[in-house]
Structure 1
């Protein structure tokens, strides 16, 4: 029996969250986790769910409708809501959550008020240089995710050849490291003990990692049987070259 009504995957870009979300959705018991509050705009949220609020509606009423729509989509009829929350989306989301549930003094309590008993999963990538290279390369090429057969799943800009950019990689390393620290500080402030998963473990053993998450949620581990990764690794020889080059340059400073 499920121990939770919802779970939040707390993460940062290029940490394997798309892989984990697709694995969980494929079990048929863990909802359809996604970035349902990604953009820092209520107007964008309304657009996600094709909602048109009444002109007389208060912002709190509008938010209630948005959250209800998000829960319906992210539960996918399973009774379990899954949310992916990138750190850069957190502050705006938190402010709107406080507006929706002003009677609850802590963010932890507001999550429970909004989604029911909520579990937290912290998904990180230990190798910050590889994470930064992945992020910079995706930004340059426009391709963020592809299926195992090579079909593009997410492209945010027109194709462009990647070019080694050490300053961009360095800035991204700092940014991703800061995101990890911000999540850790938040967990401590909210007295939360999240399930901790790394990209490295997820990438090496997706099936076993999926079983671990299901068990943590109180769901049947066996629903992971037969579930295959729905995204391909985008790291290639260019990625490896950039990582090695950046490490060498950093070591020589």
Structure 2
């Protein structure tokens, strides 16, 4: 959702998951690059070819592959010594690097959204886009997604702590309620100026919060209450 707004300004890069292994072939083909045969060239090429006219480049990383990505940068041999820290490697690859951390206050809703996406195939909910299958309530799946959400957040907390990084914090719920203001605050943090008449278009991705999500939340809390009562 935030990446939609940053992209729309035309001055804050074109953030995407360029370094998720299963996406690299797609982005490589699109930009004439090959991560498998030349990872260094792929990284530098993606920066050059997706930066906006003011030379701002942005990318998105998820907790579950940040360690793999930094290891690949280190092993490439062009972004620091073998004993370089994660931050040193990242800053060599991406000069003037800034971190924005997006977290959700309501982890249960986050877990429900993921459980639905796993069943429907809709990982980015957009207006007019239909699900491949109807989702069914699954308390165990939601619980697993809830555990994974907490594990992912722990990964970022540990990453920022051990690298002494103070990221700019964005709360997902606040972004949904005050989208324009949050995008503006991110631009201020990045020290990016946009034309006065520039408008932040509404995100292509919409919030997956509807009657199904609310019903699943109630059912999950009810099932947890029954389980706790049974184990008392």
* TM-score scaled by length of structure 2: 0.86
Matches within 5 A, 1:15-34: 19-34=1-16
Question: Residue 159 of structure 2 corresponds to which residue in structure 1?
Answer: 186
1:79-98 equivalence runs, <5 A: 79-98=55-74
The offset of 1:67, in angstroms, is 0.3
Which deviates further from its counterpart, 41-50 or 104-113? 41-50
Q: Residues of 2 paired with 1:43 and 1:24: CA distance?
A: 24
**RMSD (CA atoms):** 2.4
Instruction: State the alpha-carbon separation in 1 of the partners of residues 199 and 28 from structure 2.
Output: 36
Q: Does the aligned pair in 1 maintain the 2:102–2:171 contact within 8 Å?
A: yes
Contact in 2 for aligned 1:34/1:82 (Cα 8 Å): yes
- Structure 2 partner of 1:125: 104
Larger strand share, 1 or 2: 1
RCO higher in structure (CA 8 A, sep ≥6):
1
* Pair 90,45 (structure 1): closer, same or farther in 2 beyond 3 Å: farther
Aligned to 1:14: none
Give the structure 2 partner of residue 15 of structure 1.
none
Instruction: Output the CA distance in 2 between the equivalents of 1:20 and 1:133.
Output: 20
Check the 8 A contact 2:25/2:34 in 1, yes or no. Answer: no
**Corresponding residue number in structure 2 for 1:5:** none
Deviation at residue 245 of structure 1 after TM alignment: 1.3
Aligned to 2:203: 229
TM-score by length of 1: 0.80
Unaligned ranges ≥5, structure 2: none
